[in-house]
Structures are given as C-alpha cells and as structure tokens.
Amino acid sequence: MAIDVAEPRARTQVAVRRRRDHVGRLGLGAVMALCAGIALSFLALPIVALFAEIPLADVPALLSDPTVQHALEVTARTNAIANVLILGFGTPLAYMLATKRFRGRALVVTLVELPLVMPPAVAGIGLLAAFGAGGLLGDDLQRVGIFLPFSEWAVVLAITFVASPFYVRQAISAFEAVDPTYTAAARTLGAGPARTFWRICMPLAAAGLIAGWVLAFARGVGEFGATIVFAGNVQGSTQTLTLAVYEELDANFDVALAIGVLLVVLSAGVLLSYKMIVSWRDSTSPSLSAFGRSRSTSS
C-alpha cells in the first residue's frame, strides 16, 4: 500500500519539476529575447535615423557640394597611397612573423598590434612627436626640405599607422594557415624561396590577405583622430570625408547627414565584401596543381 502511495507522489514531483523547468526556460527565453531586442534596437536606431532624417532623393545633390567633392578626392587619394604602403611593407612583415621564430617575436607582434588599442588622438600626437618640428625625425626631414605635418602626406601616414595592424594581423593568420607540407614539396621540386613565396604562399594566403586589406581599407576611410591631430582639417588638402562630417555639423547639417549616408553605404559594402571573401576562403581547398602545371610547362 505504501508503494502505491509513493508512486503517485513521485510522479507528481516529476511533473512539478518539469513544469518548473518549462517555466524557467520560458522566463530565460523571454529575458534573452528582451535583451537581444534592446541591443539590436540600440545598434540599428542611429543607422535608421541617419536615413530617416534626410530624403534619399536629396543625397546626390548634397554630395555634389564642393566641400564633399574635395573631401572625397582627398579620401580616395590618401587611402590609395596608404593601402599601397600597407600592402607593400605589411606583407613581408606578416610573412616574416608567420614563418620565423626568433627571440623577441612576441614583442614585435605586440608592437604591430599596439595601434589597434591606442587612442587615435594619441597616435596623432605620436606622429607629431616623430615627424613634427622638433620631433625625432622632424628636424632632419625639414633640413632636406620635407615637412610632413599638416600636409596630405600626413593624412597618408596617419591612415597607414592606424590601419596597418588590421592587415598585418590577418596576413599573419593567412600565412600561418598555409600547410608547410606544400612549401616543403615546392622546395623538394627545386623551387627557391622567392618562387615558393610567389607561387605557393601568396596564392594559398590570397583570400586572407584580401580580407585583411578590406579591413584596413575600412579603417582608413573611417580614420579621424590621428588625422585631425597630425594633418589638421584643411579643406581640399587634408580634409577627408570623416573630417568633413565634423566640419559640416554646424555649417550644414544636411550635408553632414548626406556624407554619413555615403559612409554607411560604403561601410556596408566593405563588410559584405569581407564576409564574402571569408566565406569563399573557407569553402576552397588549397592545391599544388597550379604550381605543378607551371613547373611542367616551364620545363
């Protein structure tokens, strides 16, 4: 008889626990959904407001303003030069850090990554201390007729300084992901270091390098703090699109909104490109067939 009483009691306790767990899951799900909704709304609201505050039909006319056109030209020109410098010097640096192990490597990697966490204004002050009048190299450069601060080249250097780590970090990962058996096989087939680098490492790391370049480009276009400290905000000379937004906030808010819309569209395009490149990289498998074909053709 005791057993008959205990079994319903046990079933009741199990049912209560299940109901309690179900209510707990529902409560947790509701809290999670509420927090997620608040976070998403907070992130989306400024972007939605940017497009809502200005008729999109007026954007082309506002972007034809001479201030915007000059800022667009400076942005395009300085970023193009900066990206050439980032790719030209950052790729060998990343390859060395990815393939060589030496004493002090961790310190070098930390130095490369430091601009990622350095306040942009401090980066600008550092560039002034290095290349400005009375700086470490400033006086020597001026003696040979080179004055960098508050010039277009100052914009280039500011962009290069703050954007380089985005490319170099991604490039290091891309080169580290290259299977060493491929490079070993290339050397076994008679390829020298230069040929192995150009025909094996670069093609296999290409997707990662492009992804890193996209991130560096996006960071360069959005650069503000280091540029305004080191290069100033001179229309037609050092004023980029982000600096033009700052200037037009008081002068013509609609123009500032139009530039903001342009930069949001550009940023979305850059982000989409990055995601597509990463997806393509993850879906492709490396192969030595191209190297083998090129070697057999040359022989």
pLDDT tens for residues 226-263?
A: 999 999 999 989 999 999 999 998 888 999 999 999 99
Task: Supply the pLDDT for residue 180.
Answer: 87
Bin 220: left if φ > 0, else alpha if -120 < ψ < 50, else beta. alpha
HEC readout, 209-274: HHHHHHHHHHHHHCCCHHHHHHCCCCCCCCCCHHHHHHHHHHHCHHHHHHHHHHHHHHHHHHHHHH
Residue-wise pLDDT tens digits, 98-157? 999 889 999 999 999 999 999 999 999 999 999 998 889 988 998 999 999 999 999 999
Q: Where are the domains of the chain?
A: 1-52, 57-298
pLDDT, mean of residues 70-85: 96
Residue 55 φ/ψ, nearest 5 degrees: -60, 125
47-54 CB contacts, 8 Å cutoff, 24+ apart: 47/264, 50/257, 50/260, 50/261, 50/264, 51/261, 51/264, 53/257, 54/254, 54/257, 54/258, 54/261
Decide if domain 57-298 falls under CATH 1.10.3720.10: yes
pTM above 0.85, yes or no: no
Measured distance CA(33)–CA(207) in Å, rounded? 36
| Contact present, 127 and 134 (Cβ < 8 Å) | no
Percentage of the chain modeled with pLDDT above 70:
86
